[in-house]
A and B are shown apart, each in its own frame.
Chain A
Amino acid sequence: EAQVTQNPRYLITVTGKKLTVTCSQNMNHEYMSWYRQDPGLGLRQIYYSMNVEVTDKGDVPEGYKVSRKEKRNFPLILESPSPNQTSLYFCASSLSGLAGGHNEQFFGPGTRLTVL
């Protein structure tokens, strides 16, 4: 089944404790992206990757890191999480990143992160 998977789905952690949220897609997509969703703010783009070894900042990159060492994986790293990073995180992928996701972006199920 074609899908985007995220792990973990739920995570409660404490301030300053490094964490990684994994994202994997099995569709051979070039483009991958991370969003955070906060009530009343919709989805905001954190980072995106047009292809392997190519990443770029979105609207809210502060406090996050990403890497794209292989096509299928795009982990999101929080080196020192803070309470304002408590949010619902979505990973997405599409065939190509041309034209802002000219092809449909497929979304993962989300990771709900709480930072105490």
Chain B
Amino acid sequence: AQSVTQPDIHITVSEGASLELRCNYSYGATPYLFWYVQSPGQGLQLLLKYFSGDTLVQGIKGFEAEFKRSQSSFNLRKPSVHWSDAAEYFCAVGGGSTLGRLYFGRGTQLTVWP
């Protein structure tokens, strides 16, 4: 069965500190992986996506993520967090074996201390 696990419900970091949000997936075929961000009261915005090729992908707002097939992980990172990064972050997986389907994790709420 396809699923996404985000082990951290809530993370708090200080502004300027580095950030890593964890994402593990279970998928029966080659996964297509996404990270979305949801600011308070807003819809979801795509940060980055991985389909194939280089396992380190760069996204918007200075975020990057690394696909590790052996660990079934797609962790999101940022070297220096800004107060405006406070939001909820969702990892999602889709792929060729499940046309039209996108499976989301439960989300990680990020709080940034000034």
- Could you list which residues of chain A lie within 8 angstroms of chain B, going by C-beta atoms? 4, 31, 33, 35, 40-45, 48, 50, 56, 58, 90, 92, 97-102, 104-105, 107-110
Contact = CB atoms under 8 A, between A and B. Distances in A.
A31 B102 contact: no
Nearest to A43: B104
Given A99-B94, A109-B43, A41 B99 contact: no
Contacts, number: 73
B90 interface: yes
Interface residues of B, number: 29
Interface of B: 4, 6, 9, 32, 34, 36, 42-46, 49, 51, 90, 92-96, 98-107
Contacts of B49: 104
Q: Count chain B CB atoms within 10 A of each CB in A50, A90, A105 and give the residue with the most.
A: A105
Nearest to A109: B43
B51 A56 contact: no
